[in-house]
Amino acid sequence: MGSKEKLFLIKRNVSEIVSEEEFNSLIKKKKSPVVYCGYEPNGPMHLGHFVTITKLMDLEKSGFKVIILLADLHALLNRKGTEEEISQEVERWKKTIKAIGLNAKVVLGSSFQFKKEYQIEVMNLAQNSTIQRGLRSMQEIARDVENATISQLWYPLMQVVDIKLLKVDIALGGLEQRKVHMIGKDMSNSLKYNFIAMHTPLITSLKGPGQKMSKSLPGSGVSVTDSYDEIKKTIKNAYCPEGIVEDNPLLQIMKLIIFPRFEKIEIKRPEKYGGNLVFKNYEELEKIFVGKKLHPMDLKLSTTEYLEKIIEPIRKSYENN
């Protein structure tokens, strides 16, 4: 892989890198940088997770070493389930990661977060952090942030220490993680560690702008355990205004999840509606959609079929265990 191709793959569908200067220096001096992304195992992997998972696949192809942190203690602190429920989800997530084919090192948060060294690091950050900043960092992550518990304020500090103790070069996350990562960047002197933050876009809820994508809200998202019929029904009813790009979750799914996995996308249509369309990149598809030469229902049908190709092997891994 040439350097230009490698750089394209690394930066594809990335909203920002903080900072670009640090990043450019890193890839010049280190052949296999370490990137990590953490996930709360509080339910099946869903479309929102697929964005960062797809980015990790890009980075792995580019020569990065990938660490996935299954943040079981974070999930507990963030009131995402009981210890037993979270433990069950950890095993399901391990199966999912294996089925996806990522050659990642999977680390369980509780395997190192009880150690004295770790707790001292968290306490050090707590002494140098304000309550208000902790609250702000959790606005996009916590449940019922207006009534946040002290345990939830502990959460972002733990996340920053995770980055240090896992010896990470790049912390990857959706834009909702930005405020947490910036705590770590701004407190690099107290932490005695620096890292690069890489952020990916967020997918709009399938129910439309202003809604939250969550499997607990019917019709707002798709998970890896959904059947083909469930995926088809959810996508059929999804928000997809004709010719509109902004906040269109179907186009976002195509751009951030489907196109990175397939060399070309074919949208099948009857001849009376113009026949089949083949796209080699997302930009071609967007142009046709904006020109209203591609109907939302045809886009939905194609999105369903390609999502099924991605999800089917993962779903089978659940059925066979």
- SS3 assignment for the chain: CCHHHHHHHHHCCCCEEECHHHHHHHHHHCCCCEEEEEECCCCCCEHHHHHHHHHHHHHHHCCCEEEEEECHHHHHHCCCCCHHHHHHHHHHHHHHHHHHCCCCEEEEHHHCCCCHHHHHHHHHHHHCCCHHHHHHHCCCCCCCHHHCCHHHHHHHHHHHHHHHHCCCCEEEEEHHHHHHHHHHHHCHHHHCCCCEEEEECCCCCCCCCCCCCCCCCCCCCCECCCCHHHHHHHHHCCCCCCCCCCCCHHHHHHHHHHHHHCCCEEECCCHHHCCCEEECCHHHHHHHHHCCCCCHHHHHHHHHHHHHHHHHHHHHHHHCC
Q: Rounded to the nearest 5 degrees, what angle is found at the Cα of 158, between the Cα atoms of 152 and 161? A: 160
**Tens digit of each residue's pLDDT, the chain (321 residues):** 788 899 999 999 999 999 999 999 999 999 999 999 999 998 889 999 999 999 999 999 999 999 999 999 989 887 888 999 999 999 999 999 999 989 999 999 999 999 999 999 999 988 887 877 767 766 655 555 566 777 777 888 999 999 999 999 999 999 989 988 998 998 899 899 999 999 999 999 999 998 767 666 777 889 999 999 999 999 999 999 999 999 999 999 999 999 999 999 999 999 988 899 999 999 999 999 999 999 999 999 999 999 999 999 999 876 665
- Cβ within 8 Å of residue 151, ≥6 positions away: 77, 78, 79
Please, what are the domains in the chain? 3-200 (3.40.50.620), 228-319 (1.10.240.10)
Strand partners, 65: 34
Q: Which residue has tokens 């449940």?
A: 143
Spacing of C-alpha 189 from chain mean position: 28
